[in-house]
Homo-oligomer: A and B are copies of this chain.
């Protein structure tokens, strides 16, 4: 993995940015809200940022990177967590690119194992099928992990599996899903529903 930097130390209150998208009507044109929540470990919220991306568009990586880079929280952040790599339908985040632009490690987490065959089929109904597929593949290996008794699936860019597991445990204070992502989901869906 290029650009992998082991954490020297993982603080209890490590600043983690959790990112999730809001609700939208699939197969429509338009934008969807993407919310970033700055969490201190699994404890409390330090800030909120947001951007908008095109439904089924190709701008998720760039828009999310710009949101992070333009934020006053940027220098305090140590990790970016994403709820999957597909946002706003099939606007897919290139996690290697996000890692290299922001210089922050990226941890992608899902409750279900990404079904690559189903994704590949769905992409055939969209423009830029091959480009989107390559971004999906660029996320690399899918790791199955156990967290508080639940199976979860991770993809990583710029951090080791051991560090990812440590941070996952540290930030999962209320459920088997880490607080930055649990709360990003509550906010993004709460604001758009």
Task: Say whether, besides A191-B35, A191-B191, A48 and B186 are in contact (CB < 8 Å).
Answer: yes
0/1 interface trace, chain A 150-193, chain B, CB 8 Å (1 if under): 00000000000000000000000110000100010011011100
Point out which of A33, A174, A179 has the most chain B C-beta atoms below 10 A from its C-beta: A174
How many residues of A are counted as interface, with CB atoms below 8 angstroms from the partner's CB atoms?
Answer: 17
B47 touches A190 (CB 8 A): yes
Closest to A190 in B: B48
Contact of A50 among B173, B174, B183, B190 (CB under 8 A): B190
Counted per complex, copies of this chain come to: 2
- What's the least CB distance linking A39 to chain B, in Å? 11
Q: Is A45 an interface residue (CB 8 A)?
A: yes
Q: How far is the CA of A47 from the CA of B140 in the complex (A)?
A: 33
Please tell me if the beta carbons of A190 and B49 are within 8 angstroms of each other in the complex: yes
In whole angstroms, what is the CA distance A173 to B43 when docked?
Answer: 11
Contact among B44, B179, B191 for A174, CB-based, below 8 A: B44
